[in-house]
Chain A
Amino acid sequence: MKSLRARLLARLMLVSGLICLAAAATLYGITRGTVVSEFDAALLAKARALAALTEQAQGRVELELQPDPVSSVETGDPAEYFVVLDDRQRVVARTPIPEGKTWPDGLAEANNVSLFMAIRLPDGEPARAVRFVYIPRVEEDEDDAIKLSPRSASILMARSTVAIDRTLTKLAWSLALVFVLTLGAIGVALGWVVWRDLKPLRTLSHRMGTIGVSNLADRVDLIEAPLEIQPVVHRFNALLAEIQMAMQRERSFTADVAHELRTPLAGLTTALQVCGSRPRQAAEYKSMIAKCLKTCHGMHGMVDNLLTLARADAGQLSPRFESADCGLLLEELWVPFEGQATARALHVTWSLDSDLVAHTDAGLLSIVLSNLIDNAVSHADSGGEVHIAAGIQGDSVAVSLVNSGNCVAPADLPRLFDRFYRGDQARNETGRHCGLGLALCKRILDLLGGTIQIVGINRGEFNVSISVPTARDGSPD
């Protein structure tokens, strides 16, 4: 059953029903017990009275008076039976049976053990019987011998229980009727209460349903929500805020991408058009072609970074973890930047520990290291210094790159990992440094289970450090 209301109502009804049923059954049981025990008591009293009327004289047990026969109103048959037996099981007296009727079963033997028992009369009526053994009154003029050891007798008396059965049946039906009516009333009352008290849930779910992509700025009012639902509402609002921010980021990312690609394109277009506007010397053509090629490489690099970022965002980058020598990796990745470092007269120092084996995806880590080396070599001041260090720290390989000539203000530090954010909003000649490098590094390191942080920008230096796990258990699922 999917509906909370229906389920709640059904269960409450079931429980109430069971409780009412138990109450009714208990009531019936108690009443029945009382009625029956009173019946038994009356029966016993009558049997005792009859027993008091028996006496033993001259070795015989006799009944002084016969009680008046009691007959059933409906059938005319006896409603009350009794039989008195002496100690030799000979009948002393018993209820006269009308012609054609039989003595009821169960009354034939007086050897039954139970005091009270339920039996059936010949006409099928239910009855209860009482039986006990007693000593009949001894006459005064009897022998002493008899007086000393008197004979015993047993009496068995049975009476029809039709009347009380009828009463009890009436009681049972009354209780059943009351039970049904009560259950019905409970059902109505519960139904109303449940409907009313679950109304806030309906209102809430309706409200939540009205918030969509077009009105993400709306929030669900926390005050109206019931206490138990408030954490859900709170989380829902928080999720809306997150979605809003994510969509905003996506929009500005797309705008930024368009802008970043248009700039080098504009440069290429204008340069080529101006170059082709009149005849020129071969050397000039060569120089222009070289510049344009450099720009194309820069755009290529930017597009690659963008693609990798987009893949990372879409969850399509699946790192393949294996052992990778970070020291070797750094040395290999340095080679393409050597020329630029020399051209900018940079003083480069290395400090690599041996055996820097990390458990990581070498290809993705290469992108990170390459980006960081590129940043260091490009942003160091001319004639400045670059220092590359790597070592084992705990269960990670830590790599740090320091370059002199920092131009990032401390206030801008938190934004360095934002996409398209650049330290001074400047572009270098190729447009390659469009602000994606650090964002991409962070994204990839998240995937590899590593970390990146700007260690410091003190004393005109820019110090960035990354770490990747060395052991298998360091990697994420």
Chain B
Amino acid sequence: MRVLVIEDYELLRESIEQGLREAGFAVDTASDGAEGYCLAKSGEYDVIVLDLMLPKLDGLTLLRQLRDQGINSHVLLLTARDTPADRIKGLNQGADDYLIKPFEFGELLARVRALVRRSYHAKNPLLRIADLELDTRARTVRRAGVLLSLTPREYAILEYLAMRAGEVVTRTDLWAHIFEFNSDSTSNVVDVHVGRLRRKVDLPDYKPLIHTRRGHGYRLGEEL
């Protein structure tokens, strides 16, 4: 899953970036509203963590512009202003959630994950496809009860496919939601990673769950 963090206070921005990345997210950052808006406009982020007091373009204006543009990425507002009036204003402008500084990082993480689930209409942190079980909280995968050992990147790809289980996911989508801007931009990388993932998930004796649809993309699910 891909997250954009727009926060001008360096220490906070870098800490959130590190924390989210270590939790398995692909993270991009921006230190002012203008840069943040440019990045957010692409619409490829699952969650945007947005600070309200930003230079060049303040958070609420940025949010309003995003919504006017039809960008529906989930937005979590971060701010030090804690009056109900401020909260109401933020939520009315189109934010999905609101966290007041200073906050527990664990809470930020949980809320971001909840917003990701909401994006994919998955209320349950446990995703089950056939005998494949993903625990999105523990970031573990079991196939027929057996724990699989996946790299963080592999887990991320599998989680994304699982969130969109049954759909055909294009390489572009996969790249957008798993890899960060400064990664290599060749689609071959996606194929290589999916290949490695398939070898771990679709073990012999097990029903294949990761299917390739030539010219379109990949699908996770029962064989049709």
Contact = CB atoms under 8 A, between A and B. Distances in A.
Interface string B46-67: 0000000111101000000000
B105 A269 contact: yes
Contacts of A428: 10
A269 to B, nearest CB: 4
Contacts of B19: 270, 273-274, 277
B104 A258 contact: no
B8 interface: yes
Given A271-B12, A277-B19, A426 B55 contact: yes
A271 B9 CA distance: 12
Contact of B103 (A270, A277, A295): A270
Interface residues of A, number: 28
B86 to A, nearest CB: 10
Given A258-B80, A264-B9, A273 B104 contact: yes
Interface string A251-277: 000010011001111111111011101
Contacts of A277: 19, 22, 105
A211 B49 CA distance: 46
B73 to A, nearest CB: 22
B212 interface: no
Interface in B85-105: 101-105
A292 B80 CA distance: 19
A264 B104 contact: no
B4 interface: no
Contacts of B22: 274, 277-278
Nearest to A270: B15
A275 B102 CA distance: 16
A395 interface: no
B55 A266 contact: no
Contacts of A267: 9-12, 15
Interface in B1-58: 8-12, 14-16, 18-19, 22, 32, 53-56, 58
A295 B11 contact: yes
A255 B79 CA distance: 13
Interface string A273-297: 1110110000000000001100100
Contact of A269 (B9, B78, B81, B104): B104
Contact of B80 (A266, A274, A429): A266
A264 B9 CA distance: 8
A275 B8 CA distance: 20
Nearest to B21: A274
Given A259-B81, A271-B15, A273-B19, A266 B8 contact: no
B106 interface: yes
B103 A266 contact: yes
Nearest to A295: B11
B12 A263 contact: yes
A33 B202 CA distance: 145
Interface string B177-202: 00000000000000000000000000
B15 A274 contact: yes
Nearest to A423: B55
A270 B54 CA distance: 19
Contacts of A262: 80, 101-102
B160 to A, nearest CB: 23
For the complex of A and B, 7 pairs with smallest distance between CB atoms:
A266-B101, A267-B11, A274-B19, A262-B80, A266-B102, A267-B12, A271-B15
10 contacts: A259-B81, A266-B101, A266-B102, A267-B9, A270-B16, A270-B19, A270-B103, A270-B105, A295-B11, A428-B10
